[in-house]
Protein backbone atom coordinates (compact mmCIF):
# COMPACT_ATOMS: atom_id res chain seq x y z
CA UNK A 1 0.00 0.00 0.00
CA UNK A 2 1.28 3.45 -0.98
CA UNK A 3 0.66 6.28 1.51
CA UNK A 4 0.73 10.00 0.67
CA UNK A 5 0.33 12.79 3.25
CA UNK A 6 -1.16 16.10 2.07
CA UNK A 7 -1.27 17.91 5.41
CA UNK A 8 -3.86 18.25 8.17
CA UNK A 9 -5.77 14.90 8.29
CA UNK A 10 -5.65 14.31 4.54
CA UNK A 11 -4.00 11.13 3.30
CA UNK A 12 -4.31 9.14 0.11
CA UNK A 13 -3.88 5.39 0.18
CA UNK A 14 -3.31 3.40 -3.00
CA UNK A 15 -4.16 -0.27 -2.58
CA UNK A 16 -2.24 -3.19 -4.05
CA UNK A 17 -4.90 -3.29 -6.78
CA UNK A 18 -4.43 0.41 -7.65
CA UNK A 19 -7.59 1.86 -6.05
CA UNK A 20 -6.99 5.32 -4.58
CA UNK A 21 -8.65 6.16 -1.26
CA UNK A 22 -8.55 9.81 -0.16
CA UNK A 23 -9.41 10.53 3.46
CA UNK A 24 -10.53 13.94 4.80
CA UNK A 25 -9.92 16.41 1.94
CA UNK A 26 -9.71 19.93 3.39
CA UNK A 27 -10.13 23.62 2.67
CA UNK A 28 -9.88 26.87 4.61
CA UNK A 29 -6.92 25.95 6.80
CA UNK A 30 -4.34 28.42 5.48
CA UNK A 31 -2.72 26.37 2.72
CA UNK A 32 -4.46 24.90 -0.34
CA UNK A 33 -5.23 21.26 -0.90
CA UNK A 34 -3.89 20.03 -4.25
CA UNK A 35 -6.66 19.34 -6.78
CA UNK A 36 -6.14 15.60 -6.87
CA UNK A 37 -7.89 12.48 -8.06
CA UNK A 38 -9.27 9.56 -6.10
CA UNK A 39 -11.53 6.61 -6.69
CA UNK A 40 -13.02 6.72 -3.20
CA UNK A 41 -13.32 9.63 -0.76
CA UNK A 42 -13.85 8.98 2.94
CA UNK A 43 -14.90 11.81 5.28
CA UNK A 44 -14.73 11.35 9.02
CA UNK A 45 -17.21 14.18 9.66
CA UNK A 46 -18.74 17.19 7.96
CA UNK A 47 -16.51 20.06 9.10
CA UNK A 48 -14.96 22.16 6.31
CA UNK A 49 -11.41 21.04 7.04
CA UNK A 50 -12.34 17.37 6.48
CA UNK A 51 -15.09 17.51 3.87
CA UNK A 52 -13.85 19.25 0.70
CA UNK A 53 -15.33 16.66 -1.63
CA UNK A 54 -15.73 19.28 -4.36
CA UNK A 55 -11.95 19.67 -4.44
CA UNK A 56 -11.42 16.09 -5.60
CA UNK A 57 -11.26 15.53 -9.37
CA UNK A 58 -13.35 12.93 -11.15
CA UNK A 59 -16.45 11.23 -9.79
CA UNK A 60 -15.23 9.33 -6.73
CA UNK A 61 -17.46 7.17 -4.59
CA UNK A 62 -18.07 9.04 -1.32
CA UNK A 63 -18.30 7.31 2.05
CA UNK A 64 -19.22 9.34 5.11
CA UNK A 65 -21.14 6.99 7.35
CA UNK A 66 -20.73 4.21 9.85
CA UNK A 67 -20.94 0.69 8.43
CA UNK A 68 -19.15 -1.85 6.24
CA UNK A 69 -18.23 -1.24 2.60
CA UNK A 70 -16.09 -2.89 -0.06
CA UNK A 71 -14.40 -0.86 -2.80
CA UNK A 72 -11.74 -2.13 -5.20
CA UNK A 73 -11.33 -5.28 -3.15
CA UNK A 74 -10.62 -3.28 0.02
CA UNK A 75 -12.90 -3.74 3.01
CA UNK A 76 -13.79 -0.50 4.84
CA UNK A 77 -15.33 -0.31 8.29
CA UNK A 78 -16.67 2.98 9.66
CA UNK A 79 -16.81 3.05 13.46
CA UNK A 80 -18.86 5.60 15.45
CA UNK A 81 -16.95 7.79 17.90
CA UNK A 82 -17.04 11.31 19.33
CA UNK A 83 -15.32 14.51 18.25
CA UNK A 84 -14.97 15.64 21.87
CA UNK A 85 -14.74 14.41 25.45
CA UNK A 86 -18.39 15.18 26.21
CA UNK A 87 -20.21 12.52 24.20
CA UNK A 88 -20.46 14.78 21.16
CA UNK A 89 -22.08 17.70 23.02
CA UNK A 90 -19.31 20.11 21.97
CA UNK A 91 -18.39 19.11 18.42
CA UNK A 92 -20.57 16.17 17.43
CA UNK A 93 -19.66 12.77 16.10
CA UNK A 94 -16.61 11.39 14.32
CA UNK A 95 -16.10 8.28 12.20
CA UNK A 96 -13.03 6.10 12.58
CA UNK A 97 -12.19 4.19 9.39
CA UNK A 98 -10.38 0.86 9.20
CA UNK A 99 -9.27 -0.24 5.71
CA UNK A 100 -8.24 -3.84 5.06
CA UNK A 101 -6.26 -4.60 1.91
CA UNK A 102 -5.35 -8.28 2.05
CA UNK A 103 -3.39 -8.75 5.27
CA UNK A 104 -2.76 -5.01 5.67
CA UNK A 105 -4.97 -3.06 8.10
CA UNK A 106 -4.89 0.73 8.30
CA UNK A 107 -6.84 2.87 10.78
CA UNK A 108 -7.58 6.61 10.46
CA UNK A 109 -8.88 8.07 13.74
CA UNK A 110 -10.21 11.25 12.09
CA UNK A 111 -10.95 14.02 14.59
CA UNK A 112 -11.16 11.74 17.58
CA UNK A 113 -11.67 13.84 20.71
CA UNK A 114 -12.38 11.19 23.32
CA UNK A 115 -10.00 8.96 25.21
CA UNK A 116 -9.69 5.28 24.27
CA UNK A 117 -12.69 3.15 25.22
CA UNK A 118 -12.61 -0.63 25.41
CA UNK A 119 -15.39 -1.00 22.82
CA UNK A 120 -13.61 1.33 20.38
CA UNK A 121 -10.35 -0.54 20.78
CA UNK A 122 -12.08 -3.87 20.17
CA UNK A 123 -13.83 -2.51 17.07
CA UNK A 124 -10.57 -1.19 15.63
CA UNK A 125 -8.54 -4.29 16.39
CA UNK A 126 -4.90 -4.76 15.42
CA UNK A 127 -3.60 -2.35 12.79
CA UNK A 128 -0.42 -2.03 10.77
CA UNK A 129 -0.64 1.76 10.33
CA UNK A 130 -2.47 4.16 12.65
CA UNK A 131 -3.16 7.76 11.63
CA UNK A 132 -3.59 9.65 14.89
CA UNK A 133 -4.30 13.38 15.45
CA UNK A 134 -1.89 15.13 17.81
CA UNK A 135 -2.72 18.86 17.54
CA UNK A 136 -5.25 19.20 20.35
CA UNK A 137 -7.93 21.96 20.60
CA UNK A 138 -10.40 20.07 18.35
CA UNK A 139 -8.95 16.58 18.81
CA UNK A 140 -6.90 14.67 21.31
CA UNK A 141 -3.56 16.29 22.02
CA UNK A 142 -0.13 14.67 21.92
CA UNK A 143 -0.50 13.11 25.38
CA UNK A 144 -3.84 11.50 24.59
CA UNK A 145 -2.66 10.48 21.12
CA UNK A 146 0.04 8.47 22.84
CA UNK A 147 -2.69 6.76 24.89
CA UNK A 148 -4.20 5.49 21.62
CA UNK A 149 -0.82 4.36 20.38
CA UNK A 150 -0.11 2.48 23.61
CA UNK A 151 -3.56 0.86 23.57
CA UNK A 152 -3.62 -0.16 19.89
CA UNK A 153 0.10 -0.94 19.49
CA UNK A 154 0.21 -0.40 15.71
CA UNK A 155 3.24 -1.51 13.73
CA UNK A 156 3.65 2.16 12.72
CA UNK A 157 1.83 5.29 13.92
CA UNK A 158 1.71 8.48 11.86
CA UNK A 159 0.96 11.93 13.27
CA UNK A 160 -1.80 13.96 11.58
CA UNK A 161 -3.95 17.02 12.33
CA UNK A 162 -1.18 19.25 13.62
CA UNK A 163 -0.09 22.72 12.51
CA UNK A 164 2.03 22.33 9.40
CA UNK A 165 3.76 25.36 7.88
CA UNK A 166 1.11 27.79 6.64
CA UNK A 167 -1.74 26.39 8.76
CA UNK A 168 -3.92 29.08 10.37
CA UNK A 169 -5.93 26.82 12.70
CA UNK A 170 -5.51 27.08 16.46
CA UNK A 171 -3.83 23.72 16.94
CA UNK A 172 -0.41 22.62 18.13
CA UNK A 173 2.46 21.82 15.82
CA UNK A 174 4.45 18.60 16.23
CA UNK A 175 6.65 19.96 19.04
CA UNK A 176 4.53 18.72 21.99
CA UNK A 177 4.63 15.23 20.48
CA UNK A 178 8.38 15.44 20.09
CA UNK A 179 8.79 16.59 23.70
CA UNK A 180 6.72 13.68 25.00
CA UNK A 181 7.93 10.93 22.66
CA UNK A 182 10.97 12.31 20.89
CA UNK A 183 12.99 9.10 21.16
CA UNK A 184 10.12 7.18 19.51
CA UNK A 185 9.58 9.67 16.67
CA UNK A 186 11.15 9.63 13.21
CA UNK A 187 10.89 12.25 10.49
CA UNK A 188 10.35 10.59 7.12
CA UNK A 189 11.97 13.30 5.05
CA UNK A 190 9.23 12.89 2.45
CA UNK A 191 5.49 12.75 1.97
CA UNK A 192 5.07 9.42 0.15
CA UNK A 193 6.05 5.97 1.29
CA UNK A 194 5.34 2.29 0.73
CA UNK A 195 3.91 0.76 3.88
CA UNK A 196 5.43 -2.58 2.96
CA UNK A 197 8.92 -1.06 3.10
CA UNK A 198 8.52 0.52 6.55
CA UNK A 199 10.21 -2.25 8.55
CA UNK A 200 12.81 0.13 10.03
CA UNK A 201 10.01 2.25 11.53
CA UNK A 202 8.25 -0.61 13.32
CA UNK A 203 7.07 0.48 16.76
CA UNK A 204 7.76 4.13 15.97
CA UNK A 205 5.76 7.32 15.38
CA UNK A 206 6.52 8.91 12.02
CA UNK A 207 6.17 12.55 11.02
CA UNK A 208 5.86 13.04 7.28
CA UNK A 209 6.34 16.14 5.18
CA UNK A 210 3.27 17.69 3.59
CA UNK A 211 2.89 16.92 -0.10
CA UNK A 212 2.19 20.16 -1.97
CA UNK A 213 1.28 18.79 -5.40
CA UNK A 214 -1.33 16.33 -6.59
CA UNK A 215 1.22 13.63 -7.22
CA UNK A 216 -0.88 12.02 -9.94
- Per residue in 189-201, pLDDT (tens digit) is 899 999 998 888 9
Interval 72-76 mean pLDDT = 97
pLDDT, tens only, 146-155: 999 999 999 9
Residue 93: pLDDT band (50, 70, 90) is very high
Q: Mean of the pLDDT values across residues 100-122?
A: 96
* Residue 211: predicted pLDDT: 87
Residue 68 pLDDT: 97
The answer, yes or no, to whether residue 215 has pLDDT greater than 70, is no
Binned at pLDDT 50, 70 and 90, residue 216 comes out as low
> Percentage of residues in the chain with pLDDT exceeding 70?
99
When pLDDT is cut at 50, 70 and 90, the band that residue 63 belongs to is very high
Q: pLDDT grade, residue 160 (50/70/90)? A: very high
Nearest by Cα to 105 from 81, 76, 135: 76
Residue 115 · residue 85 · CB < 8 Å: yes
Q: In this predicted structure, what is the pLDDT of residue 4?
A: 96
Domains of the chain: 2-207 (3.60.15.10)
Res 138 pLDDT > 80: yes
Confidence of residue 121 (pLDDT cuts 50, 70, 90): very high
Which pLDDT value is given to residue 151?
97
**Does residue 216 or residue 179 have the better pLDDT?**
179
Task: Quote the pLDDT of residue 58.
Answer: 87
**Cα–Cα distance list, 111 to 72, 73, 195, 200 (Å):** 26, 26, 23, 28
Q: Which long-range contacts (C-beta less than 8 Å, at least 24 apart) are formed by 31-34?
A: 31/7, 31/164, 31/165, 31/166, 31/167, 31/210, 33/6, 33/7, 34/6, 34/211, 34/212, 34/213, 34/214, 34/215
Quick check: 91 and 83 in contact, CB under 8 A?
A: yes
Amino acid sequence: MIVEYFGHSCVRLTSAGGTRFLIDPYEGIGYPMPHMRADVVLCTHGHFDHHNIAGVAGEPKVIESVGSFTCGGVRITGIASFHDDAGGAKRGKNIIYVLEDGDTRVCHLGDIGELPRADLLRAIGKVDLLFVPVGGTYTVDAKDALAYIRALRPRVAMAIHYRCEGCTLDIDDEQPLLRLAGNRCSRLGGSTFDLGAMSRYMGRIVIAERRRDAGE
